[in-house]
């Protein structure tokens, strides 16, 4: 099956850039340390050391370290210390932020998983000199296959969670219709006023999409752009009707499935120019 994956080296190089930019965007928009210094629900009040949380100064230091190390890695630095710093500091920052709302502990943990997978090998692609790239086609294909399977399993997990928490009744449309009414955009609120069978049909399609995505990925492995475009269309519909964005997940459909491997050379050329400045 791995032998059927073409352009794996180029795709993981594109995924490296995508993951790096997504992590940098996350770090840039995180709240400052003084905002997170006080717990939302201090019961009872604890010092940072007693609670296991970082002080504002420690958090800001780790955030800066994560930003610099992830940026260096994204631009092609393959130093093991830099990769170690990027993974550990980014994970520590994510953990600190997640402690303030345990319900969202895994909101964008996919970035940590992708960062780790891509750090296991030289994923620079064309950014690496010809005589320094040690990534074999088999290793690149294995990393790409792991990222694709993880991407698909995130959907499966979401669908399975709906069934475990609500059962088959989730597909009757009431949950989705309520979400359209409460969270919906203008289009979503309009849909919430349509007959219940509209919401029921959309609910069934959602469950089918999420639960069957891993199977579809395997069945259409020779046409990865098909499953990638389906993913982008799914997230576009969620954004259009409920203004909910899982951009940090959906954006990986581009390097993993949609973009042609040839796009990696053009991206690498742009990054080399950026490094020279």
pLDDT at 131: 46
Question: Rounded distance, CA 151 to CA 130, Å?
Answer: 30
Q: Which of 30-44, 49-63, 169-183 has the lowest mean pLDDT?
A: 30-44
- What would the mean pLDDT of 226-238 be, rounded to a whole number? 96
pLDDT at 273: 77
Question: Rounded distance, CA 198 to CA 176, Å?
Answer: 10
pLDDT tens, 149-164? 999 999 999 999 999 9
pLDDT at 52: 60
pLDDT at 7: 87
pLDDT tens, 112-145? 999 999 999 999 988 876 545 567 888 999 999 9
In percent, the amount of the chain with pLDDT more than 70 equals 87
pLDDT at 146: 96
> Is 256 a residue whose pLDDT tops 90?
yes
Question: Rounded distance, CA 248 to CA 7, Å?
Answer: 23
Pick the closest to residue 157 from 149, 169, 168 (CA basis): 149
pLDDT band at 50 (very low <50, low <70, confident <90, very high): very low
The DSSP line for 10-77 is HHHHHHHHHHHHHHHHHHHHSPPTTTSSS-SS-SS---HHHHTPPPHHHHHHHHHHHHHHHHHHHTT-
pTM of the model: 0.89
pLDDT at 97: 85
Whether the bond between 255 and the residue before it is cis, its omega within 30 degrees of 0, is no
Token pair in block for residue 65: 């370290």
Residues in contact with 113: Cβ distance below 8 Å, sequence separation at least 6, in sequence order: 150
The DSSP line for 112-141 is HHHHHHHHTS---GGGS-TTT----HHHHH
Question: Rounded distance, CA 102 to CA 114, Å?
Answer: 22
């Amino acid at each position: 099956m791995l032998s059927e994956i073409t352009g794996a080296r180029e795709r993981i190089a594109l995924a490296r850039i995508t993951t790096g930019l997504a992590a940098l965007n996350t770090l840039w928009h995180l709240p400052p340390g003084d905002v997170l210094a006080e717990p939302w629900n201090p019961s009872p009040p604890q010092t940072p050391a007693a609670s296991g949380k970082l002080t504002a100064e420690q958090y800001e230091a780790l955030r800066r370290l994560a930003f610099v190390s992830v940026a260096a890695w994204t631009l092609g630095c393959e130093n093991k210390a830099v990769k170690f710093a990027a993974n550990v500091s980014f994970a520590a920052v994510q953990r600190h932020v997640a402690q303030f709302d345990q319900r969202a502990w895994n909101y964008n943990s996919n970035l940590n998983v992708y960062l780790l997978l891509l750090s296991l090998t030289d994923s620079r692609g064309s950014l690496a000199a010809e005589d320094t790239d040690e990534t074999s086609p088999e290793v690149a294909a294995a990393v790409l296959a792991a990222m694709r399977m993880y991407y698909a399993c995130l959907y499966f997990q979401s669908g399975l969670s709906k069934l475990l928490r609500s059962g088959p009744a989730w597909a009757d449309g009431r949950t989705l219709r309520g979400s359209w009414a409460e969270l919906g955009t203008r289009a979503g609120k309009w849909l919430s006023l349509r007959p219940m069978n509209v919401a029921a049909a959309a609910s069934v399609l959602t469950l089918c999409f999420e639960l069957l995505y891993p199977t579809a990925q395997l069945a259409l492995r020779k046409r990865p752009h098909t499953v990638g475009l389906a993913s982008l269309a799914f997230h576009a519909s969620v954004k259009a009707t409920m203004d909910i964005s899982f951009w940090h997940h959906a954006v990986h459909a581009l390097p993993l499935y949609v973009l042609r491997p040839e796009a990696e050379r053009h991206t690498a050329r742009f990054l080399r120019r950026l490094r020279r400045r």
